[in-house]
Structure 1
């Protein structure tokens, strides 16, 4: 599914990050950990097509992501950001649907029920708790049925109970929609729950 080979990225200050080769298949979960500043979020942005000036290969189903249109990349990738970046003036419903084609709108009732957010659709982001924002962020990432689901520190502000719930939810949804799931986090609670992980240095 997703494969990374010979990947490097150089910042403007000439510091170069070198990433290990790795892969993640459909319905698999891979955790990427590492100390602060080691390039975890940069890697997620590269995988999600938000950074393009890197060297090496990022492939989905043996097709290079680099050079593909942003629209095509968005159909293949769903990103759950650490900070949700919702549009304040839009309802939850419109925030979820804003970036997908109209033919995906029909899936909203299913996602809303699965994620327990059906009663939130007419609310605004400012009216949501942190846990509710996490669930809405998951719905927004999944609504386009991405091949790869990326999650950046999805449990950083959650207690143990909600951490377990969000992690279970992510893995469950990735299995249902046959997505590869990659979680970027320094949360030791996630590390204990998953067998497959890579530690960046």
Structure 2
């Protein structure tokens, strides 16, 4: 579903180019889950933006669902994101003027893949059944995060990208939300890439890599979170 081939990315600064990714190789297949760890400023968000086609590499190739992202114009990349990806962020980005039911269905409607049975099932599994007419401001933080996960999964995306998906939650709520996220991703037959600084979040996933000095390597989950 996702492949990086010798991907390099740098940003311009007054002192000259600042390399962020220095030849990253990575692959993620359907049904797999991968945690990407690293300190703040290590390039995790840059890598996630490249994976989503929100930015382009300076060199190398990013392939999403078999397509080289750099070969596509922005409209084609937007369609590929709509048809392929689900995105979950640390900030929930719920639409305040839409109730729970409409927030959950929003992404599926935009993708033209709304399935009422799957939406109803997600509401039940997410513990949001009976809250369909409430608005985001009437929900707890954990409920808002579960709703954001449900919205991302409603179109049954091939790949789910999650950026610190439990960063705003206490440990008990975070563990429950992450376990539910893994279960629902498996039921949707999606691939999952989670960006996190937390070994606790990374440990249950199939694989874990750490981004250090612009390069990927194995992560040691026994070290303290950074």
Structure 2-normalised TM-score? 0.81
Match of 2:5 in 1: 5
The answer for unaligned runs of 5 or more in structure 2 is 213-226
Residue 39 of structure 2 corresponds to residue 35 of structure 1: yes
Provide the alpha-carbon RMSD of the alignment.
1.8
Q: Deviations over 1:29-86 (max 9, x none)?
A: 1000001111112211221222236432222342223313412222101010110112
Q: Which stretches of structure 1, 4 residues or longer, exceed 4 Å deviation after superposition?
A: none
Aligned 1:108-147 pairs, distance under 5 A: 108-147=119-158
TM-score for the superposition, normalised by structure 1: 0.91
1:45 is the counterpart of 2:49: yes
Q: Tell me if structure 2 keeps the 8 A contact 1:45–1:51.
A: yes
1:182 aligns with 2:180: no
Q: In the alignment, is the contact (CA less than 8 A) between 2:2 and 2:51 conserved in 1?
A: no
Residue 26 of structure 1 is aligned with which of 16, 23, 30? 30
8 A contact 2:84–2:157 mirrored in 1: yes
Select the structure of larger CA radius of gyration: 2
d(CA) in 2 for partners of 1:54, 1:30: 24
**CA displacement 1:112-143 (0-9 Å, x = unmatched):** 11222122221111111111111101111111
Question: Displacement of 1:89 after TM fit?
Answer: 1.6
Richer in strand (by share)? 2
**Match of 2:107, SS?**
coil
The 1-side partners of 2:12 and 2:100 are apart by: 37
CA contact 2:113–2:155 (8 Å) conserved in 1: no
Gaps of 5+ in 1: none
Partner of 2:216: none
Query: C-alpha distance in 2, partners of 1:53/1:89?
Result: 36
Residues paired across the two proteins, number: 201
2: distance between equivalents of 1:84 and 1:196?
25
Equivalent positions of 1:57-96 (< 5 A) are: 57-66=61-70, 67=72, 68-96=76-104
Residues 35 and 186, structure 1, Cα contact 8 Å, conserved in 2: yes
